[in-house]
Structure 1
Amino acid sequence: MNVEETFWNASIEELSNGYIFSKEEYTCLLCGESFVDGIIYPMNEALYEAKRAVTLHIQENHGSVFDYLLKLDKKYTGLSDHQKELLQHFKNGLSDKEIVKELNGGSTSTIRNHRFKLKEKEKQAKIFLTIMQLLNTEEKNEDKFISFHKGATMVDDRYAITETEKQKVLSTYFKDGKDGKLDTFPSKEKRKLIVLQNIIQHFKVTKIYTEKEVNEILKQIYDDFVTIRRYLIEYGFMERNKDGSEYWVKG
């Protein structure tokens, strides 16, 4: 399952829950961890059915769906840092007077004005989502833009890639299929992104990798694994700690 694509294709209700239910599995939208319906999962010295297990997983590994979404980059939320801070205070149930105290300044009328503007933004978002949903029902699959990773360092026209374009690039550079070896590494930016997006599918979202483990996986895909590893970091597909001993898929 492509975690990024599933995340962006999820409904508002599914995003709010933090998981989707499909093919007898509850899948975390934030990392891709799955829990099969009918199986009992041991967690915190207790046993839970799959639906409860995925909820506990989200709480323990991601804090909350609200916190996770609020931490997303502005290019995805459209929210300024100040708006995010206010929303966190609203979520915590603080009164306007208490928020003023937390911010060390301002006035209750200013906070009320922010509440009003955010409510107006919510109304606009509902209308826009409805318009786009109506548009998407008329749009052909081959004309639809592909979804990209939430860790993208800069979203610009390089990311304007249709499904048709993606499949053409993959067939060109992965001649033995998308799970096979990379023939050559492209020089054009758009093609790089498509190839890297395909390569990152070989890594688990929830796993911490050593540099050796990353290299071993990449060697199976392309001889110049160092170049691939560098671009995965540079384009925001992966992150690593300062000494380079740990790597993980950027969520």
Structure 2
Amino acid sequence: MSISEQFWESSLEELKKGYKEEPTYYICLLCSKAVEKGVIYPHQSVLYEAERYMRAHIEESHGSVFDYLIGLDKKLTGLTDHQNRLLRLFYEGKSDQEVQKETGIGSASTIRHHRFALKEKERQAKLLLTMMELLKERDEHAPAFVPVHQQAKMIDERYNFTVEEKEKVVAKYLPDGLEGKLNKFPLKEKQRLILLTEISKIFDSNKVYTEQEVKQGLKRLYEDDVLLRRYLIEYGFLDREADGSKYWVKK
């Protein structure tokens, strides 16, 4: 299961915590870092058991679960830029008067109206979530869509593909899987995205790579490693230092 699937299939309580408990470890839903149970971890001169260390990791690496979620693409959150800013200010504990002063929007009563509108959005989301859960129990014809990876930059129809579609594309262009060769990098953007989703799996999300290591890994799959690297960065699978000296899986 990819990290994106871990994230989307987690319960609301797990998402609020930012991590999930597995039989032998805890895994961060925001970046995939895993910590083994039964191990004591040092952090800032303090020793923590696994679950407490995971909470410290989230605070240090992501600020908070809220900070991480509010920073996701608007097509994932469904929030407008205006709603996003208001939620950030509300989360900081600012009063209606303080929010009004900082945003320059109407009056304090205007801000209260926005709070009410967000509350309505929450109620609608709960109803939709409940209906979708009930639908899962009856809809035998619903296709299984591949979850959008969390750092996608531009979410559009290219990301609308099913597990079956992905399997067909991978079988066609990567017939021997990641141990073999990519026989062609297709022109259709959706097919490219599907292949990039698969190719990105060769990189460890907890490792930092040199440019040469990235080149070697991609060259093993396809002759034009520069093209693959450019698209992996463009689609938000990889990130790098400005000088290209270090690369890592974008989280």
TM-score, shorter chain, exceeding 0.5: yes
CA change 1:141–1:148 in 2 (3 A) is farther
- In the other structure, the counterpart of 1:10 is 10
- In the other structure, the counterpart of 2:59 is 59
Could you report, residue by residue, the CA deviation over 1:114-153 in whole angstroms, capped at 9, with x for unpaired residues?
A: 0000000000000011111122233459821011212223
Conserved 8 A contact 1:141-1:163: no
- In the other structure, the counterpart of 2:124 is 124
- In the other structure, the counterpart of 2:173 is 173
What aligned pairs does 1:101-112 form with structure 2 within 5 A after superposition? 101-112=101-112
What aligned pairs does 1:83-232 form with structure 2 within 5 A after superposition? 83-140=83-140, 143-232=143-232
> What is the SS of the residue equivalent to 2:168?
helix
Conserved 8 A contact 1:142-1:163: no
Q: TM-score, normalised by structure 2?
A: 0.92
> What is the SS of the residue equivalent to 2:155?
coil
Give the C-alpha shift of residue 178 in structure 1: 4.0
Q: Partners of 2:212 and 2:75 in 1: how far apart?
A: 33
Give the C-alpha shift of residue 196 in structure 1: 0.4
Q: Partner letter of residue 243 of structure 1?
A: D
- In the other structure, the counterpart of 2:24 is 24
- In the other structure, the counterpart of 2:70 is 70
Q: Partners of 2:180 and 2:10 in 1: how far apart?
A: 29
CA change 1:9–1:141 in 2 (3 A) is farther
Aligned length: 251
> What is the SS of the residue equivalent to 2:209?
coil
Conserved 8 A contact 2:37-2:50: yes
Q: Partners of 1:74 and 1:99 in 2: how far apart?
A: 21
Give the C-alpha shift of residue 247 in structure 1: 2.4
Give the C-alpha shift of residue 11 in structure 1: 1.7
Q: Partners of 1:3 and 1:141 in 2: how far apart?
A: 26
CA RMSD between the two structures: 1.9
Q: Partners of 1:216 and 1:23 in 2: how far apart?
A: 35
CA change 1:116–1:142 in 2 (3 A) is closer
Counting aligned pairs with the same residue, the percent is: 53
Worse-superposed segment, 227-236 or 99-108: 99-108
Give the C-alpha shift of residue 189 in structure 1: 2.0
> What is the SS of the residue equivalent to 1:138?
coil
Could you report, residue by residue, the CA deviation over 1:151-172 in whole angstroms, capped at 9, with x for unpaired residues?
A: 2232222222111111122222
CA change 1:203–1:243 in 2 (3 A) is same
Q: Partners of 1:179 and 1:38 in 2: how far apart?
A: 35
Give the C-alpha shift of residue 62 in structure 1: 0.6
Q: Partners of 1:174 and 1:142 in 2: how far apart?
A: 27
Conserved 8 A contact 2:25-2:35: yes
Give the C-alpha shift of residue 232 in structure 1: 0.8
Give the C-alpha shift of residue 37 in structure 1: 1.4
Could you report, residue by residue, the CA deviation over 1:4-56 in whole angstroms, capped at 9, with x for unpaired residues?
A: 12112222111111011123221001110001111221222222111111111
CA change 1:203–1:97 in 2 (3 A) is same
What aligned pairs does 1:34-45 form with structure 2 within 5 A after superposition? 34-45=34-45
Could you report, residue by residue, the CA deviation over 1:173-205 in whole angstroms, capped at 9, with x for unpaired residues?
A: 222234433232222222211110011112233
Structure 1: stretches of 5+ with no match in the other structure: none
Structure 2: stretches of 5+ with no match in the other structure: none
Q: TM-score, normalised by structure 1?
A: 0.92
